[in-house]
Amino acid sequence: MNSEEPMDFKEMRRLWCRQDDAPDDRSGKELMMEIQQRGAQLDRMIFWRDARETVAAVVISAAAVVASALVPGWLPKVGALALVASLAYICLRLARARRRTEQEPQPPPVTQGLRAELARVEAQRDILHKSRDWYVVPATLGGTLWAAGMATSLDLPAGDALRAVTAVLIAAPAIFTVVGLAVLAGNRLAIRRRLDPYRRKLENLLAEVEG
């Protein structure tokens, strides 16, 4: 119950409620059009985010499977399977993270909403931080196995075959490691530039409301 308050605040509330700054010249039709545009924008953003994440995986998987099918031997096929499995695992992790970070259906109280948003940001940071474990390592293992399998399928004399496989076992992890380090660096940059400032903003907001 609001207890007696200074006169100036009572007057301030009356003054406040008398103002009318609503954007009053937009018709219902115009407003609905804007809402639908925003909805379409959001759908497009989600679509392209999903597409980016899966198209690369699908293209690489398809290329590995086709390449391994064209050469004899079981090892290239095992390697392709390992690569496809690692890419599928990556897509699954991303999909699970997305489900965890989807908006709650009911609008929560403000403090709960801020905490939920903070949890979403933490989950995203966690994913990006651990990308070495769930992205780089599986892709490196799968890719190396596939490349080694392709190397063993080459019709070479024994000594050359051994050298080829050795070269692949050295080169493939090295290439994937370089690519992986680039991915890690990109993730760390995203955390520093985007997620960390946003997290600080949320923490400050929570402190201001709860303080």
CB of 38 or CB of 49, closer to another protein: 38
CB of 63 or CB of 207, closer to another protein: 207
Which residues lie below 8 Å from residue 210, measured CB to CB, with a gap of 6+? Answer: 111
DSSP-derived letter for residue 5 is -
CB of 109 or CB of 157, closer to another protein: 109
DSSP-derived letter for residue 169 is H
**Site membership for another protein, residue 157 (CB under 8 A):** no
Amino acid at 122: E
CA–CA gap between residue 205 and residue 9 (Å, rounded) = 25
Amino acid at 121: V
Residue choice 7, 52, 102, 105 for contact with another protein (CB under 8 A): 105
Instruction: Say if residues 125 and 195 touch (Cβ distance below 8 Å).
Output: yes
**Site membership for another protein, residue 44 (CB under 8 A):** no
Piece of the chain touching another protein by CB under 8 A; list 63-71, 91-99, 103-111, 124-132: 103-111
**Site membership for another protein, residue 196 (CB under 8 A):** no
Q: Is 103 exposed, middle or buried (0-12, 13-18, 19+ CB in 10 A)?
A: exposed
Which residues of the shown chain bind another protein in the complex (CB under 8 A)? 1-2, 8-9, 12-13, 15-25, 28, 31-32, 34-35, 38-39, 105-114, 117, 204-211
